[in-house]
């Protein structure tokens, strides 16, 4: 698959993204002015999804057993109460699908953007961490009800309910300096100047099914984390499909790293869900489950759901998460 990264293509699409979001009062203007603009894969079938709808279609479970005493209804305002319901300890809670996911229920599909917006759903979350001294990190989180892992050597691997991905833009005195692109268990960082942009906003291409984020279109091998090769054993695919502007359907928050507390910029915005420390999907199905398949016992068709924004290192020292690897900030695009 050839790479779609030419500025001629971008210029044709750029005019469609010149939309001003209705961000709440107090959100720094540069956070919206330089927010990434997303291009979904043209063949995408699992679109951005509503956070509350995920709760409506799942049951909190620990070890595949429903947690007792769960608030009813379960909402974004009380989701964090799951952290303290025995036998839950927060991290061991899985928001488990009420449906057999192999029937592909409609709620897993999400909402395809119309006029750049996911109408009727809130599918993005923007978190601002002001470090002081002019240094501000803005996280742009994207939520999908389902992750399609892809087919490798004739077998589908890596599917899971729930999918959180993100970009992070680092600002210095209101000027963007670098951008992080989450990709599976790792990602890539680039200087802002290196990136393709539309109306000053960094371009983010969302991979088919996996929703990993890339700075250029085409084929991306991610067999080796943080090494984006044009072909290989485990591939993602990106192109300039439907435009999704996350600013048009987002919750906005500030984050206090000293107290580890979130505050909404708008009093009507739910906050407590951000403190939920569990997983936003099913636990990995055991080998005894007839839906489960494995590749040599090393990789599985169905894996566990992801944790939410609170677990994404919101108070980073570098633009990259601290996972023991060197933080490479690339100054040019390409593999």
pLDDT for position 335:
65
According to the model, what pLDDT value does residue 224 have? 67
Q: Return the ∠ at Cα 246 (arms to 311 and 281), rounded to 5°.
A: 40
Q: Are 249 and 123 in contact (CB under 8 A)?
A: yes
pLDDT tens sequence across 120-149? 999 999 999 999 999 999 999 999 999 999
- C-alpha to C-alpha distance for 238 and 41, rounded to whole angstroms: 5
Cβ pair 255, 275 in contact under 8 A:
no
pTM of the model: 0.94
- d(Cα 103, Cα 244) in Å, to the nearest integer? 27
pLDDT of 217 reads 95
DSSP state of 67: P
Parts of the chain with a pLDDT under 70: 1-21, 222-227, 229-233, 335
CB atoms within 10 A of CB 73: 10
Please state, in angstroms and rounded to a whole number, the distance separating the CA atoms of residues 44 and 211.
9
pLDDT of 324: 83
Burial of 314 (C-beta count, 10 Å sphere; 0-12/13-18/19+): buried
| Phi, psi values for residue 31, rounded to 5° | -65, -35
Per-residue pLDDT, 207 = 97
For position 88, what pLDDT does the model report?
76
**Strand 94-97 and strand 294-295: pairing?**
unpaired
- C-alpha 56/C-alpha 246 separation (Å) is 22
pLDDT of residue 244: 98
pLDDT at 5: 41
Contacts of 324 (CB under 8 A, 6+ apart): none
Residue 222: per-residue pLDDT: 67
Q: What is the DSSP letter of 260?
A: T
- Tell me, what's the pLDDT at 185? 85
């Amino acid at each position: 698959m050839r790479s779609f990264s030419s500025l001629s293509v971008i210029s044709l699409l750029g005019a469609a993204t010149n939309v001003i979001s209705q961000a709440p009062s107090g959100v720094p203007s540069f956070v919206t002015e330089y927010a990434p603009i997303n291009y979904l894969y043209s063949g995408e079938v699992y679109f951005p999804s509503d956070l509350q709808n995920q709760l409506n279609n799942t049951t909190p479970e620990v070890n595949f057993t429903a947690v007792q005493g769960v608030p009813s209804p379960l909402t974004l305002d009380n989701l964090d109460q799951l952290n303290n319901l025995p036998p839950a300890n927060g991290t061991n809670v899985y928001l488990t699908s009420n449906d057999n996911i192999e029937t592909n229920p409609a709620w897993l599909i999400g909402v395809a953007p119309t006029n750049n917006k996911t109408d009727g759903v809130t599918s993005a979350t923007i978190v601002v961490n002001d470090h002081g001294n002019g240094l501000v990190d803005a996280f742009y989180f994207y939520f999908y009800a389902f992750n399609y892992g892809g087919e490798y050597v004739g077998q589908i691997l890596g599917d899971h309910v729930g999918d959180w991905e993100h970009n992070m833009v680092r600002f210095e005195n209101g000027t963007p300096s670098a951008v992080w692109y989450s990709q599976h268990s790792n990602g890539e960082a680039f200087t802002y100047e290196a990136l393709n942009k539309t109306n000053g906003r960094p371009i983010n291409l969302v991979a088919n099914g996996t929703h990993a984020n890339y700075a250029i279109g085409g084929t991306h091998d991610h067999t080796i984390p943080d090494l984006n090769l044009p072909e290989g054993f485990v591939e993602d695919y990106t192109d300039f499909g439907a435009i999704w502007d996350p600013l048009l359907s987002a919750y906005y928050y500030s984050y206090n790293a000293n107290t580890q507390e979130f505050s909404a910029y708008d009093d009507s915005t739910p906050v407590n869900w951000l403190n939920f420390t569990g997983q936003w999907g099913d636990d990995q199905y055991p080998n005894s489950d007839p839906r489960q398949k494995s590749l040599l016992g090393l990789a599985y068709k169905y894996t566990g759901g992801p944790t939410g924004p609170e677990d994404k290192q919101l108070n980073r020292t570098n633009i990259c998460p601290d996972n023991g690897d060197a933080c490479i900030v690339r100054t040019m695009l390409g593999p």
